Amino acid sequence: MRSAELLLKCLENEGVEYIFGVPGEENLDVMDALLESKIKFITTRHETGAAFMAGIMGRLTGKPGVCLATLGPGATNMLTGVADGNMDRTPIVAITGQAGLNRLHKESHQAYDLIAMYHPVTKWNARISKPDTVPEIVRKAFKIATNEKPGATHIEFPEDVAGTDVKDGGPLEVTELKGARASVKSLSEARTLINKAKHPLLLVGNGVTRTKAADELVAFAEKIQAPVTETFMGKGAISWTHPLSLMTVGLTFKDYITCGLEKTDLLIAIGYDMTEIPPQRFNPEGKIPVLHIDTKNAEVDSAYPVVCNVVGDIAENLTELTESVDKRNEPVDFTKPIRKQILDEFDNYEKDTNFPLKPQKVVYDLRKVLGEGDITLSDTGAHKMWMARMYHCYEPNTCLISNGLASMGISVPGAIAAKIVHPEKQVVAVVGDGAFLMQGCAELETAVRLKLPIVILIWRDNAYGLIEWKQELEFDRSSNIKFGNPDFVKLAESFGAKGIRIEKAEDLQHALKEAVGEKRPVVIDCPVDYSENVKLTERLKKLDCD
């Protein structure tokens, strides 16, 4: 048995069903061995796309997604997607080919030190230098990728080792470790803080969604009747229809939720990660005391003054606190006007007929068409800010936003992975025209080839809209952000997908309903009026929290 065959047997043992990647010369043995494996290889059009797919699969399943690239440019292409998943706390195992061991000690064609290159963007990585180490390295890669906080690991597989025969050994037993409960002392301190607080506010992050602790979160919030706001990656941890929900925090400027944060006397951060949003954004002077409930101790930050750490299994610790804290019979009402303002803003655009469409109208129509459990993936760009603010969720993992590294181009590859994981759900990639041509266009062919009926909603403004927004706020003018676009409808049709062009505001809901009924990928070209960006900022600057 070749080492490459042993590698695949170890991956099968870990429950891997798919590998995303691009074949190359230095992974020939792995590609050949895949022909005899139960694992399905998804050939992508770019290695970054492969890593994005693996990351979203990891995020939705909780098990590491696997991506594969060859050495040199294949490995460097995949690096961005791996780094993105690692910062999003998504379990990924990345496998790269490498030159033979006989030429790694000298300058050699396409050979870089990939162990050194991947080290800063992964939790752990290693080279397979001997065939009999394959089972241990694979098991360790999956174990570390999955352990809290999850992230990426990397295996380098030199071509001569991959083709070498191995006589003994097989996959190692897969074991799972349960998270520990917090100490009695920390739980007691937390209980005292919660009972004394007059205006507690819950800030919910990616950790609650990731550890499937949403039910425990809601029970805890209801026991103490405290309002809940979510980060971009915590969206859906509590349904937006729940009276305690304040929807999403995390914008870079003053917003409705700022009024709640200014008045709270205890911020209870649950599963919050600083890579999602820096605490300087919501606690710039560090005056709000923080009760930190997470799987790991809090990072040190002057704007994040932790007065108590409750570390361990989030669901178990929330259950423990819910059972022991005092019950509040009346809701903490200092945030009621905030919730009303957020909901009113959403409803105000139901009948808006402006064209190009206002961002608020696009989000409103998308929310109205999709079901409670359907999935949207928002790319990075100005549209992400609008989706974060106004696309309100009923359930966790139904609006996926990458907000750690926040790479452009994740939405279309991610939608492919989401549809593979959840074929029964409608999946929509929300993407700007910049990010679509950066990554999504190439993987549109992958979606067509796999016959995956995803919807790609392009917000077209012929510019890097988010950067223009920032430039106008900072300098009152923009610089070098404009570009041209192809005819997206014809482009979609050339791939074998369906293309729909929005020509008036009333078209969008009809187009979305038509698109989700198709049995092939659909691209919707939707012109957007981003003059609303600066208007929103100026309006919120005048927000009166009193």
Domains of the chain plus CATH, in order, are 3-162 (3.40.50.970), 184-334 (3.40.50.1220), 348-541 (3.40.50.970)
Query: Within 10 Å of residue 32's Cβ, how many Cβ atoms?
Result: 14
User: In one letter, which amino acid is 276?
Assistant: E
As beta bridge partners, residue 523 has 456, 499
- Quote the CA–CA distance of 317 and 288 in Å, as a whole number: 22
What is the model's pLDDT at position 540? Answer: 85
- Quote the CA–CA distance of 43 and 372 in Å, as a whole number: 31
Strand order in the sheet with 427-432: 399-401, 375-378, 427-432, 455-460, 522-527, 498-501
Q: Is 305 exposed, middle or buried (0-12, 13-18, 19+ CB in 10 A)?
A: middle
For 199, 222, 224, 251, the CA distances from 268, given in Å and listed in that order, are 11, 14, 12, 19
3-state secondary structure of 268: strand
Cβ atoms of 407 and 269 closer than 8 Å: no
Query: Within 10 Å of residue 524's Cβ, how many Cβ atoms?
Result: 26
Pairing of strands 290-294, 266-270: parallel
- Quote the CA–CA distance of 170 and 516 in Å, as a whole number: 45
What is the model's pLDDT at position 250? Answer: 66
Cβ atoms of 22 and 63 closer than 8 Å: no
Interaxial angle between packed helices 359-369 and 382-390, expressed in degrees from 0 to 180 and rounded to the nearest 10: 50
Q: Dihedral of CA 85/86/88/89: which sign?
A: positive
Degrees (nearest 5) of the Cα angle 150, 152, 153? 115
Q: Which two tokens stand for residue 213?
A: 């602790």
Compute the 3-state secondary structure of the chain and give helix, strand, coil in percent, each to the nearest 5: 45, 15, 40
Cβ atoms of 382 and 359 closer than 8 Å: yes
> What phi and psi values does residue 365 have, to the nearest 5 degrees?
-65, -40
Cβ atoms of 190 and 321 closer than 8 Å: yes
- Quote the CA–CA distance of 461 and 73 in Å, as a whole number: 32
- Quote the CA–CA distance of 511 and 515 in Å, as a whole number: 6
> What phi and psi values does residue 218 have, to the nearest 5 degrees?
-65, -40
- Quote the CA–CA distance of 498 and 313 in Å, as a whole number: 45
Q: What is the pLDDT along the chain (546 residues), one digit of tens a residue?
A: 999 999 999 999 999 999 999 999 999 999 999 999 999 999 999 999 999 999 999 999 999 999 999 999 999 999 999 999 999 999 999 999 998 888 877 777 777 899 999 999 999 999 999 999 999 999 999 999 999 999 999 999 999 999 999 987 899 999 887 778 899 999 999 999 999 999 999 999 999 999 999 999 999 999 999 999 999 999 999 999 999 999 998 666 678 888 888 889 999 999 999 888 889 888 989 999 999 999 999 999 999 999 999 999 999 999 999 999 999 988 777 888 889 999 999 999 999 999 999 999 999 999 999 999 999 999 999 999 999 999 999 999 999 999 889 899 999 999 999 999 999 999 999 999 999 999 999 999 999 999 999 999 999 999 999 999 999 989 999 999 999 999 999 999 999 999 999 999 999 999 999 999 999 999 999 999 999 999 998 888 888 776
Degrees (nearest 5) of the Cα angle 383, 386, 388? 105
- Quote the CA–CA distance of 56 and 205 in Å, as a whole number: 17
Q: Is 458 exposed, middle or buried (0-12, 13-18, 19+ CB in 10 A)?
A: buried
Closest CA to 251 of 411, 87, 388, 84: 388
Q: Classify the phi-psi angles of 110: left when phi > 0, otherwise alpha if psi is within -120 to 50, otherwise beta.
A: left
For 188, 257, 447, the CA distances from 343, given in Å and listed in that order, are 37, 12, 35
Cβ atoms of 217 and 228 closer than 8 Å: yes
User: In one letter, which amino acid is 45?
Assistant: R
Beta-carbon contacts of residue 277 (< 8 Å; ≥ 6 apart): 231, 232, 249, 250, 403
